[in-house]
Amino acid sequence: MVGLILKDLITIQRQFKTQAFIVLFLLIMAIVTQQSAILLTLVVFIVTMQAMIALTYDEQSKWDRFANTLPLTKGDIVLSKYILSFLLLMIGLIIALPLVLLIHFFTQQEIITDLFLNFSLIAAFALCLLAVLLPIYIHFGSIKGRFVLMAFCFMPGALVSLFKEYLPNITITLANLKQFVYITPFAGLFILWLSSLLATAIYQRKEF
Amino acid sequence: MNVIEIHDLHKSLGNFSLKDVSFAVPQGTVMGFVGENGAGKSTTIKCMLNLLKKQYGEILLFGKDIVEHELSIKNDIGVVFDDLYVPETLNATQLDKIMKKFFKTWDSSYYFERLVQFNVPKRKKVKELSRGMRMKLSIALALSHHPKLLILDEPTSGLDPIIRDEILDLFLEFMQDETHSILFSSHITSDLEKIADYITLIHNGEILLSESKDVLLYEYGIFKGSNEEVNDLPEHAIIRTRNGTFGMEALVLKNEVNQAFKLEKPSIEDILLFYVKGRVERW
């Protein structure tokens, strides 16, 4: 398991430099626009994508064929991707949160409770995104997985705009649910755990 | 003791299927697993490694079922495919760091000694290595946890004769330990002639032959003659016949044929061609 995570970290470390520049650019953008939530969202999105990049490298190199000749269980191979994703997400949040707080300190654009609400929602969304994407990438591979990712990004917005007259006012609904927002990351973690069970079942049926 | 035993293995993949494949590899020997492209060599090996799921049959490695004892078996085997299937941005030094997490018996100093012996650069990315270098790195990776069994799936295909010869020498070096064994799949019969103790021939998913190389080379003979001359050969001595350039050719059991018939010594390739393209009957 440690070897698998180490392999992925070494493989994707080449991306880190490029992404450090992107984060720097986003930081400047966030300061200029005084929108700290954007920084948080994009940093989370970037780190989430690293697991998908690792899966793409694996697919291109036929790594699974090699990995399955090693003394590793299929469950370990799948779980390593979940642990990697979760670790990267935590690192992303830990890096982004102080920056967001700094921007907030200087701009005081939104009240601090809203900031933590945003933080919880974004973390929960990222965990759910991983929970959906990882089994899809493991089952379909990276090319089809990308299409599903695009659909996943655009479909909710499209559906809401299509059926908005039938939906209750989202702002009011969210305001009513405010007290539950802090537990959403835990719900996200639970969904991620369920997803790992599904992905393991998918992987165990695969042939190499 | 057999390190590999396969009984009645069946696996269908689209239009192709392995049909009741059975053979065994005795400990301390090299088994050459030969057949044309698409004959079922890789499918058999993938089933042996549980990369493909068998439909029925039994696969025992070190006397243990591969599905039930997958992890303990995989601790004791080294696998080399026809290419090195690791992310191409990694280099040999990084692979050492990764592999030592997988194997308790990983021997870094042995690994780096092999890299020096094979002239594989330690810091060059896999994608920057030539095919021969990649294969040598793949072999170093397969050997450095000191496996008891090497499973080699076309490790020399597409390589020039000099690199092939170097790689075969490495395998012969591995076989210096009498407890070590190799299953070597290839369609290059000259490689097998050099290294194998036994030959198993697979064709269209069926095992046609599994025999000691010495038996094949010293107990078989080729008779070349006219149809009438072939007709004079004792029926029980003929294994296969085929049309030759100047008449008929027959693969025969040497000891069952009168010395009046002049026989040629067959190569492994001759024997395989007789089995694959020849006929059982005389005409």
Low-confidence ranges of chain A (pLDDT < 70): 36, 108-114, 167-178
CB nearest to A11's CB, from B51, B53, B90: B90
> Are the Cβ atoms of A2 and B97 closer than 8 angstroms?
no
Chain B residues touching A58 at Cβ < 8 A? 87
Integer angstrom CA distances of residue A6 from A53, A58, A84, A141, B68: 15, 13, 9, 21, 28
Chain B residues touching A207 at Cβ < 8 A? 46, 51-53
Integer angstrom CA distances of residue A131 from A5, A140, A182, B240: 18, 15, 19, 60
Please tell me the distance from the alpha carbon of residue B77 to that of residue B153, in angstroms, as a whole number: 13
* Residue of B72, B82, B101, B152 for testing the chain A interface, max A β-carbons within 10 Å: B101
Kindly report, residue by residue over A14-51, the tens digit of the pLDDT.
Answer: 777 777 787 778 777 777 777 767 777 788 778 878 88
CA atoms within 13 A on the CB side of A112: 5
Please tell me the distance from the alpha carbon of residue A66 to that of residue B153, in angstroms, as a whole number: 12
Please tell me the distance from the alpha carbon of residue B239 to that of residue B282, in angstroms, as a whole number: 9
Å between A206 CA and nearest CA of chain B: 8
Å between B199 CA and nearest CA of chain A: 24
Kindly report, residue by residue over B24-35, the tens digit of the pLDDT.
Answer: 999 999 999 999
Please tell me the distance from the alpha carbon of residue B39 to that of residue B186, in angstroms, as a whole number: 11
Å between A96 CA and nearest CA of chain B: 28
> Are the Cβ atoms of B87 and A70 closer than 8 angstroms?
no
pLDDT of residue A25: 80
> Are the Cβ atoms of B49 and A58 closer than 8 angstroms?
no
> Are the Cβ atoms of A11 and B87 closer than 8 angstroms?
yes
> Are the Cβ atoms of A63 and B99 closer than 8 angstroms?
no
**pLDDT: is B195 or A175 the higher one?**
B195
Fold held by B2-212 = Rossmann fold (3.40.50)
Kindly report, residue by residue over B119-138, the tens digit of the pLDDT.
Answer: 899 999 999 999 889 999 99
Amino acid at B30: V
Chain B residues touching A50 at Cβ < 8 A? none
| pLDDT confidence band for B48 (50 / 70 / 90) | very high
Are B268 and B193 in contact by the 8 Å Cβ rule? The answer is yes
**pLDDT: is A179 or B50 the higher one?**
B50
Chain A residues touching B50 at Cβ < 8 A? 68
Are B8 and B56 in contact by the 8 Å Cβ rule? The answer is yes
pLDDT of residue B204: 92
Tokens of A161: 């705009």
Kindly report, residue by residue over B2-12, the tens digit of the pLDDT.
Answer: 999 999 999 99
Q: Considering chain B, what is the average pLDDT of its residues?
A: 91
Tokens of B281: 């009957």
- Average pLDDT of the residues in B132-158: 92
| pLDDT confidence band for B145 (50 / 70 / 90) | very high
Kindly report, residue by residue over B227-270, the tens digit of the pLDDT.
Answer: 888 888 888 888 888 887 778 888 999 888 888 788 888 988 89
pLDDT of residue A29: 77
CB nearest to A70's CB, from B46, B81, B102: B102
pLDDT of residue B37: 87
pLDDT of residue A50: 85
Chain A residues touching B61 at Cβ < 8 A? none
Give the A-side interface with B, CB within 8 Å. 2-3, 6-7, 10-11, 14, 57-58, 60-63, 65-66, 68-73, 207-208
Please tell me the distance from the alpha carbon of residue B183 to that of residue B50, in angstroms, as a whole number: 16
pLDDT of residue A110: 58
User: Which residue in chain B is spatially nearest to A12 when comparing CA positions?
Assistant: B89
pLDDT of residue B26: 95
User: Which residue in chain B is spatially nearest to A6 when comparing CA positions?
Assistant: B98
Environment class of B75 (CB within 10 Å of its CB; exposed 0-12, middle 13-18, buried 19+): middle
> Are the Cβ atoms of B98 and A68 closer than 8 angstroms?
no
Give residue limits of the domains in chain B: 2-212, 216-277
Are B205 and B21 in contact by the 8 Å Cβ rule? The answer is yes
Identify the three-state secondary structure at position B10: strand
